Amino acid sequence: MQKPNVYLFPQLDDNYGYLIKNPHETKGVLVDPSDLSMCLKILELNDCVASHILITHHHDDHIAAVGEIKSKFNSLVIGYRNDSKIPKPDKEVLDYETFEILGNEYKVIHTPGHTLQHINFFMPQHNILFSGDTLFSIGCGRMFEGTPEVFWDSLCKIKQLPKDTKIYCGHEYTLANVNFALSIDPNNKELQQYSKWASHQENELRPTIPTMLSDQLLCNPFLRCDEDQFMKLYESQNEIEVFAKMRSAKDNF
């Protein structure tokens, strides 16, 4: 199975969109298109059309260009059946459903928390995850609609993926996330290392995405709410409560 290329491109202020394209093909898949001119540019650069669009959730910074892309390329839009606020998908998918586009398999993972109807797309043949605003590098999305319980449960679903999963998330928030993480986990050698690397990337104007799940398991405090260290810090024996306290500490950081 030939590995598809995943092209990351900036959108709006700090969003990332993605173009998934098999080598030598003239069709590609856009993930969360919100910035029309950037979407058209990446398609043109790679000499392809957007035959499909994947939507992770209904926030404007992830869907604003869906309508225009669809009318230009007659793209097939794929989104969660229960998300009534996204543009009506041509193909509605549900949790754990798998489907195939352009020879690649995708698996839907429902990850409520940031919004209640948020989904991730996992490519099991290549261990690639599009996590939208659920998991960020060294952080997670704000809890706009969900509860700590469902958000923690969603993060646990991601934790169970293969360790070499490459994560492509919706925003470049890594440095701010690293600063918060270091404030609650200052002695973490891997995190210190990651922080240096992230600063270097920023200085060179390079993205910090994708990130490997194995690195996130070591460095991202939001995936480690069940560890003693954070239970002590937040004075709780319950990982959901630890998550709630950590999330609100980050909101006020």
For Fe ion, the closer CB: 133 or 215: 133
For Zn ion, the closer CB: 59 or 70: 59
For Zn ion, the closer CB: 55 or 123: 55
118 binds, among Fe ion, Zn ion, none (CB under 5 to 8 A by kind): none
Q: Does 32 bind Zn ion (CB under 5 A)?
A: no
Q: Which residue has the tokens 């957007």?
A: 50
C-alpha distances (whole Å) from 3 to each of 28, 103, 104 are: 13, 10, 9
Q: Does 61 bind Fe ion (CB under 5 A)?
A: yes
For Zn ion, the closer CB: 34 or 165: 34
Show the binding pattern over residues 123-142: x = contacts Zn ion (CB under 5 A), - = does not: ----------x---------
Of 128, 223, 222, residue with least CA distance to 168: 128
210 binds, among Zn ion, Fe ion, none (CB under 5 to 8 A by kind): none
Q: Does 149 bind Fe ion (CB under 5 A)?
A: no
Q: Does 133 bind Fe ion (CB under 5 A)?
A: yes
For Fe ion, the closer CB: 61 or 202: 61
242 vs 65: CA distance, rounded Å: 37
Show the binding pattern over residues 208-227: x = contacts Fe ion (CB under 5 A), - = does not: --------------------
Q: Does 172 bind Fe ion (CB under 5 A)?
A: no
Paired with 211 in beta bridges are 167
Q: Does 59 bind Zn ion (CB under 5 A)?
A: yes
Taking the complex as a whole, how short is the minimal distance between the CB of residue 126 and Fe ion, in angstroms?
24
C-alpha distances (whole Å) from 8 to each of 41, 49, 121, 181 are: 12, 16, 16, 25
Q: Which residue has the tokens 């990337």?
A: 201
Q: How many residues bind Fe ion (CB under 5 A)?
A: 4
Answer yes or no: are the C-beta atoms of 81 and 117 closer than 8 Å: no
170 vs 195: CA distance, rounded Å: 19
Of 52, 134, 133, residue with least CA distance to 99: 52
Answer yes or no: are the C-beta atoms of 130 and 171 closer than 8 Å: no
Q: Which residues bind Fe ion (CB under 5 A)?
A: 59, 61, 133, 170
Q: Which residues bind Zn ion (CB under 5 A)?
A: 59, 133
